[in-house]
Amino acid sequence: EEELDISLAAEYITYEKIDEEDLIIAKDGVLLKYQDIEIKADYLKINLTTNLLFASGEVLFEQDETDTYCEELTYNWKTEKTILLRLKSELTGEGIKGKMYYSGEKMENFPDTVEIADGNFTTCELEEPHYHIVTKEMIIYPKDKIIARNISWYEGKIKIITLPY
Specify the pLDDT at position 22. 93
Residue 121 CB-half CA count within 13 A? 22
**Over the stretch 121-138, which tens digit does the pLDDT of each residue have?**
998 888 889 999 999 999
Instruction: Tell which residue, 122, 63, 111, 54, has the closest CA to residue 85.
Output: 54
**Cα separations in angstroms, 109 against 76, 90, 153, 162:** 11, 15, 25, 27
Strands 21-34 and 6-9: antiparallel
User: In the predicted model, what is the mean pLDDT of the chain?
Assistant: 90
The conformation of residue 48, written as its DSSP 8-state character, comes to T
**Over the stretch 59-74, which tens digit does the pLDDT of each residue have?**
999 987 789 999 999 9
Specify the pLDDT at position 6. 87
Specify the pLDDT at position 133. 93
CA 17, CA 19: separation in Å to the nearest integer?
7
Residue 82 has pLDDT above 90, yes or no: yes
Mean pLDDT score, 85-103: 84
CA 31, CA 11: separation in Å to the nearest integer?
10
